[in-house]
Structure 1
């Protein structure tokens, strides 16, 4: 009985502390982009919807990238809202093997031409190298990468008997494809289109903050 009472008091204290912490940061808002496999982003979306409008889903995308032999499939989502809830969702994302970056209002106010890139790590690195060679002045402000798997399967262009594809696909699904999520700031307005063109040609998804509803 005494032990039960102690545990009940501890639970009540934790709930109170959580509520106080949430209330403390209730006025603070963040943007957050999270990437990973579809199951992980499904869970993040569900929790965001369950947050009683404290966090809004600005958009969600399912992406399939076709290489010569393999299709790479992943999801990403952009959230905006209560920083306390987003901190929790970010921790869940990282624990599930996903990648995330959190953008504070300070970045939006102080840095020019913010753009988020999401894609396979090798392709993101190639895009950044091309942007640098194009003499675009920019900086990488934040970056993160996945530690969990994303779905992959054999491209339909690869000619194999059906039974072999069915045998090989499970092997591809556990292959390590690292997703990279970065936030960059482009110094000059005239260079934004160049960055967009390079990323798009490399099949990198780009989010231009100019296209985001800041009053969401």
Structure 2
């Protein structure tokens, strides 16, 4: 109830602050499991997608954001609650696997899960190679993947900025991509191929220059 109330309040505020121009929202299934895979240019990306999607979308958020603290922590915690963020400990392989397992449960319950396959924010505006966790989720759950391109969020809150500022963002929701378990049982190559297909779809929507490498920077 609290999350729904906060979401109702945050949506009109985001319309004023970010002036989102949304395309392709009809591509997002209104019910059933779905994975929303977006490029990553700014800290606000994980907020913009849930506030512009036609249904509730949950992203993973660091557990420490939900911990008790001062006024800033209270604001952050309630904002994340309002966008249905899921608290998970971050750091190391075990934490990464835990995040995927939490996401898989959400999908099996018919929810929508948001993910940034690049992992970290792009500091130079290029679109980096995707991590294969998104494909693991898609194949394991059978959920369609909606590629999403965010444009302009790096101007709203550049890397290093403490708070977002008013501006305009563009959000493109692409057509669903569906992936099935490989007939030969070779999961690794199948996940890599599926991830590359997802990233190619995001690149086509965003118009970003493609970097044929992983983003190793831990920018969040």
TM-score (norm 2): 0.26
Greater fraction strand:
1
Higher relative CO (Cα under 8 Å, sequence separation at least 6) belongs to: 2
TM-score (norm 1): 0.26
